[in-house]
Structure formats: structure tokens, C-alpha cells
Amino acid sequence: MSSEELRLRRELAAVYRLVAHFRMTDLIFTHISARLPGPEHHFLINPYGLLFEEITASNLVKIDLSGHPVEESPHPVNPAGFVIHTRAGCAVAAQKSGLLPLNQISMEFYGRLGYHDYEGVALNLAEQRRLVGDLGGHPAMILRNHGLLTVGETPAQAFLRMYYLDKACEIQTTATATGTPLLTPAPGICELTATVARRVVPPSVDSLGGGGS
């Protein structure tokens, strides 16, 4: 095993533990993956059936683009991988409006969020192209009637994006539950907030800025 793969295994396992700590799991039915460097298009993903607090660097499964293990492993994998199901995220994914710019956290995603319509349980490989197309150059996406998806250059960056996207959804569900009219800033203010947020956050803790977003 290369030193780079070992590093990514440790980082990804740490993200699984963080997601468990912040109670962002759906038992065994949410997924985080990391692409390994190299031309093989191999990924690391959680062993299907284990809770997130049980994930370690050594029991992550290496798979190919089709979701098949490329090394011997006692664990199966879920071919529908790559999505987080939080209560707030699923609630906003079921709202026609999508994520509203109701607060500074949600405005960080303004104009930087893709949407993908629900096509049933994600086992159809043809849907992969549509998912990629709907994500486009965005760092995050809402899968309608399903959940939240984020990407990043590192496991840590993808986690931070998910953490704040979920927080934005929590704020929205709380605000809409009040039953009172919602106040949204003008589009220009929302765009300004998103732009400034990318400039002022240090790269070491950046969630939406940086190359590749």
C-alpha cells in the first residue's frame, strides 16, 4: 500500500467518525468516498453493514468505477454510494424551492449548488452521467427527494461542505416551521455574500472556495 493511499484511508476514516459524532448518519445507509490517485479510477468506500463509528482506515473497501471491489475484502459495498441523508437535508430536498438564501451560511452556497431530480434508488449506472452533468462545476448538490451530496479535493473539504450545507438546511427547516413569512435578501446581496465568503475564509478551513470548486 502506498503512503498516499494510507494517508487517504486515515483521512476518510476520520471523516466517517466526524459524521457519526455530529449525528449526520442514517445508520449504515449513507456514504462517503475518496478517489485514489492514479489512472485506475479506484475509490475507497465504507464496508456496507458497519456503523460509521466502526469504520477504520484498514476496513475501508477499494472499489472500481462500477462499484466492484478490486482487492479481497470480507465486506460488501453499497453500489448506490456517495450521498448523506440527514433529517434537515432530506426535508429541504423535498421542498420545491430547494435551498433558500435565508441566512449567511446558506448564502455561501448561492449560485454554487446543483440539483438532481429523483430517479429512484440509485442503482442505474446511466444515472451517473446525469448526476455528473447536474453537479457541473458546483461543490455541492441537492438530490431531490433524497439527500445532500458534496465533493472536495480532500475528504476534509468535502466534510466541511457537507457540514455547512446541512446547517443551512437545518436553519431553513426551523424557519419554515414557524409558519411566518420568510425574508430573503436581494439577489445582489446574496451573490456578494457568496463571493466575499470565498475570499475571507483561510484555505486551510475553506468549505466553498479554492481550486476545483
Across 67-93, average pLDDT:
78
Distances 164 to 92, 160, 185 between C-alpha atoms, Å: 14, 6, 19
Q: How far apart are CA 6 and CA 18, in angstroms?
A: 19
Across 20-41, average pLDDT:
84
Residue 61's pLDDT is what?
A: 93
Residue 202's pLDDT is what?
A: 53
By percentage, how much of the chain surpasses pLDDT 70? 88
C-alpha cell belonging to residue 161? 461542505
Distance of CA 147 to the CA centre of its chain: 9
Across 132-159, average pLDDT:
91
HEC string of 38-104 equals CCCCCEEECCCCCCHHHCCCCCCEEECCCCCECCCCCCCCCCCCCCECCHHHHHHHCCCCCCCCCCH
Q: Are strands 34-35 and 140-143 parallel, antiparallel or unpaired?
A: unpaired
Across 2-15, average pLDDT:
92
C-alpha cell belonging to residue 33? 468516498
Among residues 23, 182, 22, 32, the alpha carbon closest in space to that of 99 is found at: 182
Across 59-86, average pLDDT:
77
pLDDT in tens, 77-89: 876 554 566 789 8
Which is higher by pLDDT, 68 or 167? 167
Which is higher by pLDDT, 81 or 188? 188
Residue 12's pLDDT is what?
A: 92
How confident is the prediction for the chain on average, in pLDDT? 86
Which is higher by pLDDT, 31 or 191? 191
Say if residues 105 and 54 touch (Cβ distance below 8 Å): no
Q: How far apart are CA 170 and CA 161, in angstroms?
A: 14
Q: What is the band of 109 on the pLDDT scale with cuts at 50, 70, 90?
A: very high
**pTM of structure:** 0.80
Q: What is the band of 48 on the pLDDT scale with cuts at 50, 70, 90?
A: confident
Residue 136's pLDDT is what?
A: 93
Residue 170's pLDDT is what?
A: 95
